[in-house]
Amino acid sequence: MTTHRRPLLLSAAAAALVCPACLFIPAQSTPITSPEMREKIAAEAKRATDAPRRDVFGELPSRPGETVAARSAPKPGAPAAPAPGSSGSAPAAPSLPGDLQPVSLYPVLPGVAPPPALTPGRESPLLEAVKAYADGKPTRAIEILKSLDGPNQEFVLAVVPILQRGATADLAADPAAVAALVDQLEAIAARLGARAALKIENLAFCTRVAGFGRYEPWPEGQPYHPNDQAQLYLEVENLVSQPAAGPHGETHVTHAKVAVEIKDAHGVLVKQADPEDWRRRVEVAKFEKKLPSRGPVRDFHVLYPFAVPTAPGVYTVSVEVRDPSGRKARSAPKEFRVTGP
């Protein structure tokens, strides 16, 4: 039995070598994955397909130079963006929120030169002038400052040497150098004072006045009685002395024009004695103060004595000061009270 089967198997093997494509061995395949497992795998694949991709921040361009939108993770509660290819009208002018800005993946196109590099702007004339003066080139500094207006040139040319000297002087142990700087700064302030606005400072009622800054103030909240004599003290800043010959050999004069108004609690002007003629009654008291001196005066004050109103009540007084050039300053209303006799 065994002897007859061996020649048959050898014949079949030889035929397979000669005609391999004709060899067919029927067999029944057995599925490796059960139907339940296949359904589970399909469900997981569907969930993975429907879930948003968090690792994709932008779409790839279809051609060089195309811009694409960088996408960020959607915020909780925000509506989902439509899927590519879905129906919907696109806006005429695309408007992207702050977290969805266009990003160019090809900022430089072939054959197009890149934009020129930014160059730092020129330094201001002030910095150039300071550097030139510090390098020992004052003439160069003057040339640079010619681009400024005249008053600005004058101011900078006066200040730059002071800065240079202040940066190198021993301000802690050289009083003479400090005094020189003070003189230079005061000279600059005096030149600027002619252009500065007038200011009224230290408007106060006083009992006694001995000079600039030397006065005894009226007690706070204490009322006056009818027909009392009040004294109003005020200081004026930036009032410039002018060169002028005085009656006793003075070389300067400081001139101020003063106007005083007194109003009652209803804002009605109260008549007062005219400082030029006490027999007259005026609504606005006007007078001038001229102070001759042998040099420029930096500290200037005005004293205005007046009789308080006869009717009890609450009053305010306001002062306006002018100089000969027309500059003026007006004080805020100063309150005082008049009680019964």
**Would you tell me the crossing angle of helices 125-134 and 150-168 to the nearest 10 degrees?**
40
Residue 307, both tokens: 């009789």
Of 32-36, 97-101, 171-175, 263-267, minimum mean pLDDT range: 97-101
pLDDT for 56 beyond 80: no
CA distances from 341 to 15, 262, 335 (A): 150, 20, 19
pLDDT for 16 beyond 60: no
Sign of CA dihedral 163, 164, 170, 176: negative
Can you tell me the mean pLDDT for 208-219? Answer: 94
Residues forming CATH 2.60.40.2550 domain(s) in the chain:
199-338
pLDDT for 6 beyond 60: no
Q: What is the mean pLDDT of the chain?
A: 79
Write the burial class of residue 315 (CB in 10 Å: 0-12 exposed, 13-18 middle, 19+ buried).
buried
pLDDT for 47 beyond 50: yes
- 242 vs 196: CA distance, rounded Å: 15
- 201 vs 301: CA distance, rounded Å: 9
Helix (H) or strand (E) holding 165: helix 150-168
| CATH, range 199-338 | 2.60.40.2550
- pTM above the 0.75 mark? no
227/272: higher pLDDT: 272
Can you tell me the mean pLDDT for 293-299? Answer: 92
90/247: higher pLDDT: 247
